[in-house]
Structure 1
Amino acid sequence: MVIMTVISSNLGYPRLGEHREWKHLLEHFWKGQLDTTAFHAQAKQLRLANLKKQQALGIDLIPVADNSDYDHVLDTIAAFGVIPARYGHFDQQLDLHDYYALARGTKDAVASEMTKWFNINYHYIVPEFDDVHFQLLDNRWLRYYQEAKDELGITGKPVILGPVSFLKLGKRNGQYLDDAAVTELLPQLLPLYVQVFQELAAAGVQWIQLDEPTLVKTTQSAELRPYKEALTQLHAAAPTLNIELQTYFDSLDLYDQIVTLPVQAIGLDLVHDHGENLTDLLQRGFPTDKVLAAGIIDGHNVWVSDLSAKLALIQQLLAVVPSDHLWLQPANSLLHVPITTANETKADPVLLGGLAFADQKLAELSTLTTAANKGTASVQAAFDRNRANLDALNQSSHRNNQAVREAEAHLTDQTFERQAPFATRIQLQHDRLNLPLLPTTTIGSFPQSSEVRSKRAAWRKGNLSDEDYQAFLHAETKRWIEIQEQLGLDVLVHGEFERTDMVEYFGQKLTGFYATQNGWVQSYGSRGVRPPIIFGDVAYTQPITVAASVYAQSLTTKPVKGMLTAPLTIINWSFVRDDIPKAQVQNQIALALRQEVGNLEKAGIKIIQVDEPALREGLPLKARHWKSYLDEAVYSFKITTTGVQNDTQIHTHMCYSNFADIIGTIKALDADVISIETSRSHGEIISAFETTGYDKEIGLGVYDIHSPRVPSVDEIKTNIQRALRVIDVHQFWINPDCGLKTRQEPETRAALANMVAARDAIQSQLNTPTK
């Protein structure tokens, strides 16, 4: 007798390694400290270790080829020969140097554009479909499937980005592909996918995970045509290969039509779907000939699941599909969470009991799968621990700070607006600051050298005294103030050498945050961040940035910006408690930062930058959810910034993506100066300002800081001149795209020197009086 059972499945596993082994591997290779053979050997060890761990945790369907040497979209670009002509012509698999050239640029070729993956803090390399000639250079999915099978006996589930999403995530002539372009290019690309699928089927692959995350953004039936065409051809070409069509990050507006597509399993997000996917399942049913791959575990937050609630959800699903047609899995790849809580040895035990990183989430899936098949009694101890841990955290003093709750209650009694309109404020600021036309500045951070990192590590370990560490920070700040003055910059920064991360740093200074020891998550390439965990009520206890800003200002007569991170970015780049509404946490942070802004102003800081780089990236995928998100963003920003006098200048900074649809929100923030990343997106934001206008001051990033290449003076001049075609010269600031923390000092100094030279050249050509 065959026993019909629910099985567990995973969608993807973190790449960094428990101790960032993958990051160090990449960086050692880039520095020439590893050759290609050593790189591949060490990368293989890490891949196999990740697979073994999933096997040991009891996962039935383990993903393979979800690993990457940089980014999974870049892998797809390289595999299918979507190589921009500026890098040369390739007719075979790219070697590592050529592969990394696409992501990081070369002396003669700018790096490929990089932007955010949907609405989370991961960056992918944007495919360029200009004059492309698709060719299969590498069936990486077959290679990694075979490796897992041969080395570990794992019959894995290869993970591949679907052809339609691949096209939709890319650009041609600087614009994201529209439906007509997708329809044109799909017949050229699809034969290569067919070849990959046929080779996988010939190798005995049983299931392939075809990620089509753009399906959650479809709203019209006509938009489904390319997906249906692709799936029909793929199934016909490799009928023995079962396809799991995987969606994530939101619900399906076209549920009835999508679940009938010619695949053998449909992956639905039942965590970030606003309850809509579950409603459709329960009310509309599910096809009897397909597997429901139910995403029931949150793949981009870190809290333990309420196992009893999840089991109740599973019982609801089993009323819709039979047990042998149900897979339990994360709602999205676990790439976006840290690996394990085992290394968090300093965490409060009450907090630790409430945390679940990737390994703990897979253990939850295993427990829930057992409970679904054998009953709760078979795993009762795990359920009891889970309940006790949840109760302990929710009832703790961390989540019941009465002072914070009282401050929240008085929010409705206040109006958060600047004292005077912008036109009045900006004149007062000009008089006070006395800056030249086209003022130059940077976004905030300067290179964190190996010495900076080693000193900070020694201080954290207790091997360097507070006094010696502070003396080092002062020396580094003084050195970079002098460098900025020598370069001729107009508005300076202290360099942020005390900060590992612009969000983590503030999390360490406010109550209600936990700074992890090893909670690293990939942001892009080898860049790992440790998002702080907001687990309790947030409160301000003491000044955070005032001393560093005041010290830097004492070294120069030029203005030095105070540097803060705004509430929404802290929210979007943190793991946020899920027991109260996110907007409530956001306002708690805003109330705390409002006090810091006031203290900076009292200390004599004339310019205060409150960065909101993650505002656009966190925009909900569906337009119907935009208004509440954007209204909440403006409200929390104004709580933070509107307590200052008219002649104190408020700056903010934003990164990446298409801003045209949030220009109204950018205006509503009422910041005096905004800087926006534009160089990798080739100035697309400029058209938005051309059509809508903008009355405040603005700096559009004039060179890309994510690439090690040094832009020429002429290249920067071109970027400036392009912006000045639509932005008045009196409004415009000159700055790099983003902070310079990840760059090396020589390239930073050279690039900034060229930036100032480009400004001076343009300034000399203008017959316009200075401010």
Structure 2
Amino acid sequence: MKKILLPTSTAGSLPKPSWLAEPEKLWSAWKLQDQELTDGKLDALRLSLHEQQQAGIDIVSDGEQTRQHFVTTFIEHLSGVDFEKRETVRIRNRYDASVPSVVGDVAREKPVFVEDAKFLRSLTDQPIKWALPGPMTMIDTLYDGHYKSREKLAWEFAKILNQEARELEAAGVDIIQFDEPAFNVFFDEVNDWGVATLERALEGLKCETAVHICYGYGIKANTDWKKTLGSEWRQYEEAFPKLQQSKIDIVSLECQNSRVPMDLIELIRGKKVMVGAIDVATNQIETPEEVANTLRKALQFVDADKLYPSTNCGMAPLSREVARGKLNALSAGAEIIRKELSA
């Protein structure tokens, strides 16, 4: 990748166009079917890329336009999971959801996102990032009636994710990001086997790898949970020491409008840091100076060549207009800091 100081990116999804899915709604159903849906997803991907480029985003993504959900869309393509046999489980100890069941050995019979990644690669020479769900977050989105062990299932998913990640790398993806919001909840498991299964998922990769750990979309279950966390959010303190020792290249954290003490970045000293400088839980568009201020605070604890300005999380539930404004603010804020550093 061409070396860019403070390369900007999104941490996850971008809003889908209203002709593809119901706008401003998380995980909304597709409006198209069959070949129209296939074509529509790729048109939306093309549009999402264009909007990132117009905003000056440096590391671009697919905006998750071809998937309904950041976890279950991947799982839908695996054998061993029955989407008709559903059970209600507690997701990340926050809210109940009806989820599919693991009924047999899980396996990936064919690539899931590789063709989409090849399509994105064909559209741009910019560095591209692709997000996959992490093993621990995958197991937290299912009912397991087969392995009957969260750890065993996580190791199986790690092997499957590694197969997909290797093919994404071969398709030209520059950064593969594993989404692990579960790392902010299940601290004992993170340290016992969570980071180890994540490392299994990235085994053998030569491209850059990232782990994205956030406090979630701006849905009520997440905002209610945040209200219980007190004046300081120190969840990262539990996973960061182990991640600092891991093979992962980039670690993300949520910083904009959060109560995360910025000095926790010290715990991942030496890693590249994706600093969330855009709040995805509000329609209020940050000013470039607000973004710059968050980046200045982060620079007290991470070297400039290791700072990757980003969004806190995905922006799927926001309007396209708001998301566009936030992307512009992210780019403009990063540019303020680049000029300060060069001066």
Q: TM-score, normalised by structure 1?
A: 0.39
- Whichever residue aligns with residue 326 of structure 2, its letter is A
Superposed, 1:157-196 pairs within 5 Å as none
Residue 693 of structure 1: how far off its partner (Å): 5.1
Secondary structure in 2 aligned to 1:493?
A: coil
- The letter of the residue matching 2:250 is V
Q: Specify which of 173, 181, 192 is matched with residue 631 of structure 1.
A: 192
Distance 1:523 1:634, change over 3 A: closer
What CA deviation, in whole Å up to 9, does each residue of 1:89-139 have, x standing for no partner? xxxxxxxxxxxxxxxxxxxxxxxxxxxxxxxxxxxxxxxxxxxxxxxxxxx
Contact preservation (8 Å) 2:87, 2:101 = no
Structure of larger gyration radius: 1
Indicate if the aligned counterparts of 1:703 and 1:711 stay in contact, CA closer than 8 A.
Answer: yes
**Residue in 2 aligned with 1:472?**
40
Return 5+ residue gaps in structure 2 as ranges: 23-27, 216-232
Shift of 1:451: 2.5
Q: Distance in 2 between matches of 1:747 and 1:644?
A: 35
C-alpha distance 530-759 of structure 1, shift in aligned 2 (>3 A): farther
- Is 1:506 aligned to 2:79, yes or no? no
From 752, 759, 762, give the equivalent of 2:337. 762
* Residue of structure 2 in register with 1:457 after alignment: 30
1:77-99 deviation per Cα after TM superposition (whole angstroms, max 9, x unaligned): xxxxxxxxxxxxxxxxxxxxxxx
CA contact (8 A) 1:446 1:495 kept: yes
Map residues 679-690 of structure 1 onto 2, 5 A cutoff.
Answer: 679-684=256-261, 686-690=262-266
Gaps of 5+ in 1: 1-432, 620-625
Offset of residue 498 of structure 1 = 2.2
- For 1:693 and 1:579, the matched residues in 2 are separated by 33
Give the Cα–Cα distance (whole angstroms) in 1 for the partners of residues 118 and 88 of structure 2: 32
Partner in structure 1 of residue 156 of structure 2: 588
After superposition, the Cα gap between the structure-2 partners of 1:757 and 1:458, relative to the gap in structure 1 and judged at 3 Å, is closer
Cα pair distance change 1:663/1:590, threshold 3 Å: same
- Partner of 1:13 in structure 2? none
Tell me by how many angstroms 1:469 deviates.
1.3
User: How do 1:40-55 and structure 2 match up within 5 A?
Assistant: none
Matched residue type, 2:264: A
User: Does residue 654 of the first structure (1) align with residue 213 of the second (2)?
Assistant: yes
Q: Secondary structure at the match of 1:497?
A: coil
CA separation of 1:712 and 1:532: change in aligned 2, threshold 3 A: farther
CA contact (8 A) 2:135 2:158 kept: yes
More strand by share: 2
8 Å CA contact 1:638–1:669 kept in 2: the answer is yes
Residues 1:547 and 2:108 are matched in the alignment: no
Q: Is the 8 A contact 1:561 1:606 kept in 2?
A: yes
The letter of the residue matching 2:150 is K
User: Is the partner of 2:21 in helix, strand or coil?
Assistant: helix
Deviations 1:43-99 (CA, angstroms, capped at 9, x unpaired): xxxxxxxxxxxxxxxxxxxxxxxxxxxxxxxxxxxxxxxxxxxxxxxxxxxxxxxxx
Match of 1:515, SS state, is strand
Change (3 A) 1:521 1:497: farther
Cα distance in 2 for residues equivalent to 1:569 and 1:498 = 20
Q: Percent identity?
A: 24
1:714 and 2:282 are equivalent in the alignment: no
**Is the aligned partner of 1:610 residue 2:178?**
yes
Change (3 A) 1:735 1:616: same
Distance in 2 separating the partners of 1:717 and 1:629:
32
Where does residue 435 of structure 1 map in the other structure? Answer: 3
- Given that 1:503 and 1:531 are in contact with CA atoms closer than 8 Å, whether structure 2 keeps it comes out as no
Q: Quick check: 2:183–2:190 contact (8 Å CA) kept in 1?
A: no
SS in 1 for 2:20: helix
Secondary structure, aligned partner of 2:30: helix
Give the drift of 1:754.
Answer: 0.9
**Is residue 2:151 matched to residue 1:576?**
no
Q: Secondary structure at the match of 2:209?
A: strand
Q: Which residue number corresponds to residue 219 of structure 2? A: none
Within-5 A mapping of 1:214-253: none
Rounded to whole Å, the distance in 1 between the matches of 2:240 and 2:131 is 23
Specify the alignment match of 1:736 in structure 2: 311
Aligned positions of 1:114-513 closer than 5 A? 433-453=1-21, 457-459=30-32, 464-465=33-34, 467-513=35-81
| Aligned match of 1:139 | none
Query: CA–CA distance in 1 between the matches of 2:270 and 2:142?
Result: 32
Q: Look up the SS of the partner of 1:469 in the other structure.
A: helix
Residue pair 1:507, 1:532 contacting (<8 A) in 2 also: no
How far off its partner does 1:574 sit?
A: 2.5
Backbone CA RMSD of aligned residues = 2.5
How far did 1:584 drift? 0.8
Paired AA for residue 631 in structure 1: D
Deviations 1:505-526 (A, max 9, x none): 11101112233598788979xx
1:699 match: secondary structure? strand
CA distance in 2, matches of 1:617, 1:739: 19
Q: Deviations over 1:358-398 (max 9, x none)?
A: xxxxxxxxxxxxxxxxxxxxxxxxxxxxxxxxxxxxxxxxx
Instruction: Give a deviation string over 1:253-297, Cα, whole Å, max 9, x none.
Output: xxxxxxxxxxxxxxxxxxxxxxxxxxxxxxxxxxxxxxxxxxxxx
Indicate the residue corresponding to 1:560 in structure 2.
128
Distance 2:84 2:294 in 1: 40
Q: Which amino acid aligns with 2:240?
A: I
Are 2:130 and 2:175, in contact at CA under 8 Å, matched by a contact in 1? yes
Structure number with the bigger relative contact order (C-alpha 8 A, sep ≥ 6) is 2
| Cα deviation 1:596-626 (Å, max 9, x = unaligned) | 111112222222112222112122xxxxxx2
Cα 1:693–1:587 change in 2 (3 A) is: closer
Higher helix share: 1
Partner of 1:674: 251
- 2:183 and 2:239 in contact (8 A); partners too: no
Q: Aligned pair in 2 of structure 1 residues 522, 743: CA closer, same or farther (>3 Å)?
A: farther
